[in-house]
Amino acid sequence: MIEVQSFAHGKWIKPDNSARSICSAVDGSKIAVAGRASLDTQSMLHYARNEGGPALRALSFHDRAKRVKALAALLSEHTESLTQLAFNTGATRADSKVDIDGGIGTLFVYASKARRELPDDVVCTDGAVEQLSRHGTFVGQHIYTSKPGVAVHINAFNFPVWGMLEKLAPALLAGMPVIVKPATSTCYVTEACFRLMIESDLFPAGSMQLITGGTGELLNQLESQDIVSFTGSADTALQLKSNPKLLRACVPFNAEQDSLNASLLCPDVLPDSDTFNTFINEVCQEITSKAGQKCTAIRRIFTPLSLTDAVTEAVSARLASIKVGNPALETSQMGALVSLEQRTQVAEAASQIAQHAKLVFGESTVEVDGASATEGAFMSPMLFRCDTPDAADTLHSCEAFGPVSTVMPYRDLHHAAQLLNAGAGSLVASVVTDDPDYARTVTVASAAYHGRLYFNNQHSAKEATGHGSPLPHMTHGGPGRAGGGEELGGVRSIKHHMQRTAIQGSPDIVRAITGIHVNGASEHQSDTHPFRKHFGELQIGETLHAGPRIITLDDIEHFAHFTGDTFYAHMDEEAAKANPFFPGRVAHGYLLLSFAAGLFVDPDPGPVLANTGLDGLSFQKPVSAGDSLSVSLTVKRKTTRNDDYGEVRWQVLLFNQDSEQVASYELHTMNAL
Ligand code: NAP
């Protein structure tokens, strides 16, 4: 019997008499207890706010990212023990790969994105500097800083590891301590993973706490700098987010809840084609993976009228070949639902669906390999068919959170989009077509109702990541019925855990706050050429002025013939004059760039290791033969990349003899530390 513990104010706390029992999905036996009514949630919050938060916020984004990466590496060594434990939740090895390996992969992606896309700092910017004044002495910049509160994460039962890690990574990267509350039915898997994280000592004390069982007074004790991220059913979401104390304190509440996701087969697809088979594969995968207990699973299958029979037959044939069995057996393709109660709930939802649709595949009893079909929470996959989808609201609103789906025909693409949208907001809809015009039509008609639109066909099938896979790079969430929440989405989800503030002030003030040079801020001059300085020696705002150099007609012609760019604006006075942009023949923009480099570069080997690119190039004024060119090179921002070098971004401005800016860009170099 596992005594599932909570981890509160630095200590493991055992369940007490108030604990709830947890049964195995495989044989119904009691395997664990979890929960303690007397858990002191107020002191947990105090500990997180006063110990975990300040210690996390003392680390930069990069320091936090290094720890997240180390955590992922450590957990990778324990996937087998977690997989073994998860068999009792009904999850097969393949299911746990999504949950455990998927969760660890998510940590790796976050760590890498945070290192690449965020500064080695505690403040990050959002968008570009806004010019708020005529002469540039007053500017604006949106920034993000860490909230001094606690992130409370309430998770659903179906992904005990991924569900925790996909929320934990962005919160910790954002500098927020976390209290994790997993669903009780699978919390012993979460607790085992959490224990590894605590034992790793990678994050400061107070960064992570765990509540197994009920949350007691926790939600009533939250304040405006805290946030709640909830994943679960729409009913629980509604109950929790209507808590008057949360509403009064304006505690952000992010809800990821159930939705009636759909898959649409477009009319261009022929039966038995590769794209048709791709559709059948995806649908069957979503019905059986995690025994259909996925928030993204396909509940509604829309087919052209002419293909409804073919789809129904193909899906039924495939489902008939699925081996339901003890999840620990390698041969089992579908395991059990999480509990007998869950099976009862799914059966009830299926009987509501049956009032509007005909069961075309599925038995009330199922043959199970290696376990008892009645003692364990096993059930047969079920496929329904409804030929009157407009008259059956239940099919668009009743979520059977198990291996249950319904095939429905549509008349034309307009009707298909109406049916897709009838779910009133979903996490994901997939569209299977080889026709890009159909893809565009469905997008315009339906995108507003779905958090993700997933297109697949014979060309993308091999590499497509799957209808049901939320990815750490892309936002996961959906409007309306799906909860209106947003998770994942790379750096975007780190920012969800932070506060955005509009900063207004002089360029010097804004630069001091963000650590990024702002046009118009004072320049630092130095006697040493910046290319002779190591990464750590360069100061933000340090500026080199170089030039002037006169541009001649010979330069322009030489460059034109040397490169082959003999465009008329550089070579033909009459034609150039006729162009509304040019006074006559003008220098190539790329010639100006090359001359600028010739003016500011210091040639000898030194700390500048490579020029890795440029951004935001713009040519603002034509330069003619006889004009002169000067350049300013300013250290704009610096980001360490590893122990050997860091990236320097330089603001480069090009001027003519009248000090008018003619071009600008941001140059990227890698510099030795
Ligand atoms: P649930 O019953 O709504 O529970 C979700 C979480 O809320 C659990 O941790 C639960 O804890 C907790 N909870 C319930 N009442 C609470 C209360 N009064 N105070 C504090 N916490 C409370 O959902 P579930 O059965 O675990 O998960 C299945 C549902 O989640 C499905 O409807 C599915 O569609 C949805 N889901 C959505 C997503 C998504 O990303 N949109 C992902 C996965 C699942 P206990 O277990 O201790 O009751």
- Residue 334 to residue 325: CA distance in whole angstroms: 6
Nearest to 586 by CA among 656, 664, 645: 656
Which CATH number applies to 523-672?
3.10.129.10
- Residue 377's pLDDT band, with cuts at 50, 70 and 90, is very high
CA of 155 to the centre of ligand 1 (A): 6
Q: Summarize the confidence of residues 433-444 as an average pLDDT.
A: 97
- Residue 21 to residue 532: CA distance in whole angstroms: 68
Domain ranges of the chain: 40-257+492-498, 262-466, 523-672
Residue nearest to atom 16 of ligand 1 (CA): 236
Sheet of strand 382-385: strand arrangement: 358-361, 382-385, 404-410, 300-304, 262-265, 426-432, 450-456
Does residue 90 carry a pLDDT above 80? yes
pLDDT, tens digit, for every residue of 118-137?
999 999 999 999 999 999 99
Does residue 363 carry a pLDDT above 90? no
Residue 185 alpha carbon, nearest atom of ligand 1: 46
Does residue 574 carry a pLDDT above 90? yes
| CB contact at 8 A, 324 and 367 | yes
In this structure, the number of other CB atoms found within 10 A of the CB of residue 402 comes to: 25
The class of domain 40-257+492-498 in CATH terms is alpha beta
| CB contact at 8 A, 183 and 161 | no
Common-topology check for domains 40-257+492-498 and 262-466: no
**Quick one: 55 exposed, middle or buried, by C-beta within 10 A (0-12, 13-18, 19+)?**
middle
Residue nearest to atom 46 of ligand 1 (CA): 183
The single-letter code of the amino acid at 315 is V
Q: What percent of the chain has pLDDT over 90?
A: 97
CA of 400 to the centre of ligand 1 (A): 14
Note the pLDDT of residue 84: 97
Does residue 364 carry a pLDDT above 80? no
Mutate to test the pocket of ligand 1, among 4, 166, 258, 399 (most ligand atoms within 8 A of CB): 258
Which residues 6+ apart lie within 8 Å of 574 measured at CB?
Answer: none
Nearest to 256 by CA among 280, 288, 228, 215: 228
Does residue 642 carry a pLDDT above 80? yes
Mutate to test the pocket of ligand 1, among 95, 153, 154, 218 (most ligand atoms within 8 A of CB): 154
Residue nearest to atom 1 of ligand 1 (CA): 232
In this structure, the number of other CB atoms found within 10 A of the CB of residue 290 comes to: 28
pLDDT, tens digit, for every residue of 268-288?
999 989 999 999 999 999 999
CA of 258 to the centre of ligand 1 (A): 9
CA of 178 to the centre of ligand 1 (A): 18
Q: What is the DSSP string of 371-440?
A: S-TTTS-----EEEE-S-GGG-THHHH----SSEEEEEEESSHHHHHHHHHTTSSEEEEEEE-S-HHHHH
3-state helix, strand, coil in the chain (%, to 5): 35, 25, 40
Q: Chain-centre distance of CA 529, in angstroms?
A: 42
Note the pLDDT of residue 93: 97
Question: Among all chains, which residue has been given the structure tokens 């996909």?
Answer: 166
Residue 295 alpha carbon, nearest atom of ligand 1: 34
**Quick one: 473 exposed, middle or buried, by C-beta within 10 A (0-12, 13-18, 19+)?**
middle
Note the pLDDT of residue 36: 84
Three-class SS state of 501: strand
Ligand 1-lining residues (CB < 6 angstroms):
154-158, 181-185, 215, 231-233, 236, 240, 256-258, 295, 399, 401, 427
Mutate to test the pocket of ligand 1, among 236, 401, 493 (most ligand atoms within 8 A of CB): 236
Residue 177, token pair as written in the block:
């301590």
**Quick one: 388 exposed, middle or buried, by C-beta within 10 A (0-12, 13-18, 19+)?**
exposed
The domain 262-466 belongs to what CATH superfamily? Answer: Aldehyde Dehydrogenase; Chain A, domain 2 (3.40.309.10)
Nearest to 9 by CA among 49, 37, 58: 49
Note the pLDDT of residue 603: 94
- Residue 601 to residue 532: CA distance in whole angstroms: 10
CA of 181 to the centre of ligand 1 (A): 10
Does residue 544 carry a pLDDT above 80? yes
Residue 232 alpha carbon, nearest atom of ligand 1: 30
Residue nearest to atom 13 of ligand 1 (CA): 236
Does residue 651 carry a pLDDT above 90? yes
Q: Summarize the confidence of residues 142-150 as an average pLDDT.
A: 98
Note the pLDDT of residue 120: 93
Residue nearest to atom 47 of ligand 1 (CA): 184
Three-class SS state of 339: coil
Does residue 462 carry a pLDDT above 80? yes
pLDDT, tens digit, for every residue of 12-45?
999 998 899 999 999 999 999 998 888 999 999 9
CA of 113 to the centre of ligand 1 (A): 29
Q: Which active-site residues does the annotation give?
A: 256, 295
- Residue 478 to residue 146: CA distance in whole angstroms: 25
CA of 207 to the centre of ligand 1 (A): 23
pLDDT, tens digit, for every residue of 179-198?
999 999 999 999 999 999 99
Residue 427 alpha carbon, nearest atom of ligand 1: 41
Handedness of CA 362, 363, 368, 371 (dihedral sign): positive
Three-class SS state of 580: coil
Note the pLDDT of residue 298: 97
Note the pLDDT of residue 517: 97
Residue 159 alpha carbon, nearest atom of ligand 1: 43
Does residue 171 carry a pLDDT above 90? yes
- Residue 488's pLDDT band, with cuts at 50, 70 and 90, is very high
CA of 534 to the centre of ligand 1 (A): 52
Residue 391, token pair as written in the block:
């008259």
Which residues 6+ apart lie within 8 Å of 393 measured at CB?
Answer: 422
In this structure, the number of other CB atoms found within 10 A of the CB of residue 600 comes to: 20
- Long-range CB contact pairs, 638-642, < 8 A, 24+: 638/535, 638/538, 638/540, 639/119, 639/120, 640/62, 640/120, 640/535, 640/673, 641/115, 641/670
Does residue 89 carry a pLDDT above 80? yes
Does residue 360 carry a pLDDT above 90? yes
Q: Chain-centre distance of CA 101, in angstroms?
A: 16
- Residue 495's pLDDT band, with cuts at 50, 70 and 90, is very high
Q: Summarize the confidence of residues 526-549 as an average pLDDT.
A: 96
- Residue 228's pLDDT band, with cuts at 50, 70 and 90, is very high
Residue nearest to atom 26 of ligand 1 (CA): 156
Residue 154 alpha carbon, nearest atom of ligand 1: 9
Nearest to 546 by CA among 641, 629, 650: 629
Nearest to 517 by CA among 118, 60, 134, 139: 139
- Residue 287 to residue 324: CA distance in whole angstroms: 12
Does residue 208 carry a pLDDT above 90? yes
H/E segment holding residue 154? strand 151-154
Residue nearest to atom 32 of ligand 1 (CA): 233
